[in-house]
């Protein structure tokens, strides 16, 4: 048997944490004054909505208790949107070719570690087994932080084929790949909503900085329960 204080996988199975997330009231009030309402997107059509789940692979879940904490909310949203006729897309890291720039940026050991962080097998096989996937879902691999950066993932093309105009963004790390994906989604013209309690960072302040940035300039921020209500409205 393994020792619980040494085995990260066992610890991850036992510990799950939710971020203490917030959008400060002054920012809500500022947006209300500008547009006359708190939230940019008050309605969504499930048939034209995609739930983008970014980088929830074993490597990241095992290393971050906050990533364990969002699994239940991710599963709830995926099940609800799928049942309502929407699209669920699971996006995982793909190994990239060795890069002198990334080695210089990250250091050779970390560059090699992250280069293979997505694991082995097909994109579907790499999604964490804790997540409730389905044959009808999309499974994609990306070679950049953003799943929507041109030339690094087929996500945009897949969404366009399905006539998607709204994306819900969840996963980890919130302030890296999830934020990059949300920014590019907004740039491409998608109604973009960051799921406040289905994104995991390393610290509360990291997540909250991302939520503030997305809410301020790129889209909207909503918790799981509010989005479930919009899906079933």
pLDDT one-digit tens code per residue, 117-150: 656 789 999 999 999 999 999 999 999 999 999 9
**What is the tens place of the pLDDT at every residue in 163-214?**
999 999 999 999 999 999 999 999 999 999 999 999 999 999 999 999 999 9
Task: Give the global pTM.
Answer: 0.89
| Average per-residue pLDDT for the chain | 90
Residue whose pair of structure tokens reads 């050779």 in the numeric block: 108
- Which residues are within 8 A (CB) of 211 and not within 5 positions of it... i.e. 6 or more apart? 21, 22, 23, 174, 194, 196, 199, 221
In sequence order, what DSSP letters do the residues of 131-163 get, joined into one string? Answer: S---TTSEEEEESSSSTTSTTS-SHHHHHHHTT
Question: What tens digit of pLDDT does each residue of 57-68 get?
Answer: 998 898 899 999
Which pLDDT score is estimated for 156? 98
CA dihedral (112, 201, 146, 162) in degrees, to 10, reads 130
CA distance 214 to 183: 7
Q: What is the pLDDT of residue 16?
A: 87
pLDDT of residue 94: 86
d(CA 18, CA 3): 25
Kindly tell me the burial class for residue 189, based on how many C-beta atoms sit within 10 Å of its own C-beta (0-12, 13-18, 19 or more). Answer: exposed
Of the candidate ranges 58-62, 74-78, 161-165, 226-230, the one whose mean pLDDT is the lowest: 58-62
Nearest to 80 by CA among 145, 168, 161: 168
First to last CA, the chain: 49
Task: Tell me the average pLDDT across 77-101.
Answer: 90
- pLDDT tens digits, residue range 17-37? 999 999 999 999 999 999 999
> Other CB atoms closer than 10 Å to residue 115's CB: what's the count?
18
Segments in 5-64 forming alpha helices (H): 8-14, 25-35, 58-63
The 10 Å CB-count burial string (b at 16+, else e) for 135-155 is eebbbbbbebbbbbbeebbeb
């Amino acid at each position: 048997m393994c020792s619980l204080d040494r085995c990260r996988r066992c610890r991850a199975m036992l510990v799950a944490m939710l971020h203490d997330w917030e959008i400060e009231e002054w920012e809500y009030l500022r947006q209300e004054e500008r547009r006359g309402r708190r939230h940019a997107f008050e309605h969504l059509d499930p048939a034209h909505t995609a739930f983008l789940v970014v980088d929830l692979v074993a490597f990241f879940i095992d290393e971050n208790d906050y990533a364990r904490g969002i699994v239940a909310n991710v599963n709830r949203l995926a099940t609800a949107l799928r049942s309502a006729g929407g699209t669920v897309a699971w996006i995982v890291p793909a190994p990239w070719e060795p890069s002198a720039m990334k080695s210089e940026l990250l250091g050779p050991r970390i560059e090699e570690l992250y280069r293979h962080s997505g694991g082995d097998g097909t994109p579907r096989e790499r999604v964490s087994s804790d997540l409730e996937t389905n044959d009808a879902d999309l499974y994609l691999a990306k070679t950049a932080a953003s799943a929507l950066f041109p030339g690094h993932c087929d996500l945009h093309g897949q969404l366009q084929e399905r006539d998607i105009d709204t994306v819900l963004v969840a996963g980890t790390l919130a302030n890296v790949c999830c934020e990059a994906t949300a920014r590019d989604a907004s740039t491409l013209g998608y109604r973009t909503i960051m799921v406040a309690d289905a994104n995991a960072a390393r610290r509360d302040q990291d997540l909250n900085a991302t939520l503030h940035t997305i809410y301020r300039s790129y889209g909207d921020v909503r918790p799981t329960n509010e989005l479930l209500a919009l899906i079933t409205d």
